[in-house]
């Protein structure tokens, strides 16, 4: 095989290649766990997770990014809303709200890397095995910042009007007259107090009890450290999977009129740190946008760096959100040929 620089590449280490082939060949024989709302995880064939507890649970559906990595408003409008047509109006109305919260609160890739380096020095590869005070503090601080931001961002938005319109009609029957009256007061006041935020987000509150989707909980997830998302998936006892094979992000370019997203290289560095911290339970896929494959060798160099040196299991083709440009066939075929030769997922 010829390297992107044109020189003959030395043979790869057989052990490393065999490990990746072993992982990828085994995925077809393992049960795959889809991610729904918390507590609703099901195995293929309709069996519950408890019924299949003796099998390894593998999640290959998750997207490992936060609101600094992608243009959330575009993602909500063109990907999430079409997937949930019965809630599309609420999701599209919330796209700008989610974007504003993420730009204000979500940590960048550089911030994530700094935090992961600190965790690695103190803990080693044990992120999925146990929590400690600093991880719980990160989670509590992220939740507090999110709750503090909602009274500033939500009132007066079309999303918040539609959100309350969906809660109020069912509240009296499901939650009682006091909860219904409180929702009506919030709608009439045009403002949101901190205690109202706690009411909406409470474990027994109206969002969890009355809505099939949980938009505020979803918005909150995009403001977190990326490692907290992985921690939720893998944590002992309450986790949803034993092994996670996520896609890092859908790269759709820099949105106009906003701060640039986290650079791709910074994302890869952060995820490489996270792979090391998860002790073999995280094997991400690198998204490749076919529109960007202008130079086949440059694209291959980027992919090889991720797969050979940063712990990525392989690549996945990212569907462009604007569906505007056709891929560069020559570069795309070169990439797929390399994946086939190397035993890398594609």
Beta strand 57-59 pairing with 314-317? unpaired
What does the alpha-carbon distance between residue 223 and residue 34 come to, in Å, rounded to a whole number?
22
pLDDT greater than 60 at residue 316:
yes
CA-to-CA dists, residue 116 to 34, 51, 279, 284, angstroms: 27, 35, 14, 16
pLDDT given at position 92: 96
pLDDT given at position 109: 85
Question: In the predicted model, what is the mean pLDDT of residues 44-73?
Answer: 68
pLDDT greater than 50 at residue 36:
no
pLDDT greater than 50 at residue 304:
yes
pLDDT given at position 306: 84
Helices vs strands, H then E, count in the chain: 15, 5
Higher per-residue confidence, 48 vs 36: 48
CA-to-CA dists, residue 313 to 131, 208, 339, angstroms: 26, 36, 10
pLDDT given at position 246: 84
pLDDT given at position 130: 63
HSE-up (13 A, CA, CB side) for residue 15: 0
pLDDT band at 250 (very low <50, low <70, confident <90, very high): low
What does the alpha-carbon distance between residue 155 and residue 143 come to, in Å, rounded to a whole number?
19
Least confident of 125-134, 247-256, 285-294, 329-338: 247-256
pLDDT band at 207 (very low <50, low <70, confident <90, very high): very high
pLDDT greater than 70 at residue 251:
no
Least confident of 99-108, 146-155, 285-294, 318-327: 318-327
What does the alpha-carbon distance between residue 152 and residue 4 come to, in Å, rounded to a whole number?
50
pLDDT greater than 50 at residue 283:
yes
- Alpha carbon distance, N-terminus to C-terminus of the chain: 18
pLDDT band at 343 (very low <50, low <70, confident <90, very high): low
pLDDT band at 258 (very low <50, low <70, confident <90, very high): low
pLDDT tens-digit series, residues 179-201: 999 999 999 988 899 999 999 99
pLDDT greater than 80 at residue 27:
no
Tokens of residue 271, six digits: 């995820």
Question: In the predicted model, what is the mean pLDDT of residues 230-254?
Answer: 74
């Amino acid at each position: 095989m010829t390297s992107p620089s044109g020189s003959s590449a030395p043979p790869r280490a057989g052990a490393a290649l065999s490990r990746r082939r072993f992982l990828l060949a085994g995925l077809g024989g393992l049960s795959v766990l889809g991610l729904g709302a918390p507590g609703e995880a099901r195995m293929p064939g309709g069996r519950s997770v408890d019924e299949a507890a003796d099998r390894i649970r593998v999640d290959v559906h998750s997207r490992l990014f936060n609101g600094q990595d992608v243009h959330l408003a575009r993602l909500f409008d063109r990907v999430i809303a079409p997937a949930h047509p019965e809630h599309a109006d609420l999701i599209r109305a919330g796209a700008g709200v989610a974007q504003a919260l993420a730009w204000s609160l979500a940590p960048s890739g550089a911030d994530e890397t700094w935090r992961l380096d600190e965790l690695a020095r103190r803990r080693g590869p044990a992120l999925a095995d146990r929590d400690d005070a600093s991880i719980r503090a990160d989670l509590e601080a992220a939740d507090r910042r999110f709750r503090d931001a909602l009274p500033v961002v939500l009132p007066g938005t079309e999303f918040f009007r539609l959100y309350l319109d969906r809660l109020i009609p069912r509240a009296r029957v499901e939650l009682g007259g006091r909860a219904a009256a409180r929702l009506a007061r919030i709608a009439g006041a045009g403002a949101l107090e901190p205690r109202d935020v706690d009411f909406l987000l409470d474990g027994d509150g109206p969002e969890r009890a009355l809505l099939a989707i949980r938009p505020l909980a979803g918005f909150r997830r995009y403001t977190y450290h990326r490692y907290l998302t992985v921690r939720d998936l893998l944590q002992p006892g309450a986790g949803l999977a034993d092994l996670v094979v996520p896609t890092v992000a859908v790269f759709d370019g820099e949105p106009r009129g906003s701060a640039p997203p986290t650079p791709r290289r910074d994302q890869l560095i952060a995820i490489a740190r996270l792979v090391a911290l998860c002790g073999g339970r995280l094997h991400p896929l690198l998204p490749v946008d076919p529109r960007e494959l202008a130079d086949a060798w440059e694209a291959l160099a980027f992919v090889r760096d991720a797969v050979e040196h940063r712990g990525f299991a392989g690549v996945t083709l990212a569907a462009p959100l604007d569906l505007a440009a056709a891929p560069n066939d020559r570069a795309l075929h070169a990439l797929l040929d390399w994946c086939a030769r190397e035993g890398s997922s594609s």
